Structure 1
Amino acid sequence: MMRVESHDRFSAVAEFDPVTGRLDEFSRASGAAADRVAPQGHYSRLAGTLVVFYRLGASLWIRIGVASRNLNDAGVEIRWKRSRGHSTLDLIDNGVLIAEAEYQPSPGGGDADPTPFAESEDWDFGLFVTAVLGSEGRRARIYGGAGEYAE
């Protein structure tokens, strides 16, 4: 299990099993031991589809619904687009669409997020994922202080 944080709600964190896709959510206020562990990723529910973006070892991974892929593998790519107020996040493997999440991004605000500044990617998880993947520096740094995955 690994700790992942909600991209949508500051108060929510979860234990995530990358093998099964199981996600057990809890409140930061609960004082659970997992809340004191560095996060290894973020998650969001995009129009009901669970999406988890995380680091496992030296690689970044993504899970959209039941499909999970190593983003360092050749032929694996993420595509994001916005059209008519909706966003779409696609997982492509060797030119084949493996998973898709079509959703309406949050209008902003979140629940009690104390951050004094905000970017568009703070309210659109798909945009956040593609922004990280599009920046070699962010891609290398994100979740770098996380502990190792423990089965």
Structure 2
Amino acid sequence: MKIGIILYSYSGNTLSVGERLKVLLLKKGHEVSLKRIKASDEAPNSGKPIQLTEIPDTSQYDEIILGAPVRAFSLNPIMKAYLAKLPDLQGKKISCFVTEHFPKAWMGGNHAIKQIKRMVSAKNGNIADCGVVNWSNAIREEQINEMLSRFSS
């Protein structure tokens, strides 16, 4: 299966989870690409309009995994801008995950996942699975490993 991991990462936390997922999927025999979304100004509090400079294409993938950090208890605006620009997803299988500093998913992670689900559904994509990684939670590694196991099965 051809899988695209498409993510935005500011601090590197989301990227590190995406890289681990890529390694696991490659070991299972999938063809995997990891692509990053980029913007001209990625400073979290710049207040400038978002202009994407790298917009990964989704058309060549059988399955897509989206990853992004939570910002201000919501989905990161750069991922929102990317999802808004996506063409119709034509029933593609989509999994998604978010990373957040806070220790509990209800502190923004759950809301960010709902936003991704809503935007993917509006583009006719089918959500398969979702996960939240709470970076300051003592069981972060367990959260990551459990999510990686689900996403790779």
Q: TM-score range by the shorter chain?
A: under 0.3
Q: TM-score, normalised by structure 1?
A: 0.26
As a proportion of its length, which structure holds more helix?
2
As a proportion of its length, which structure holds more strand?
1
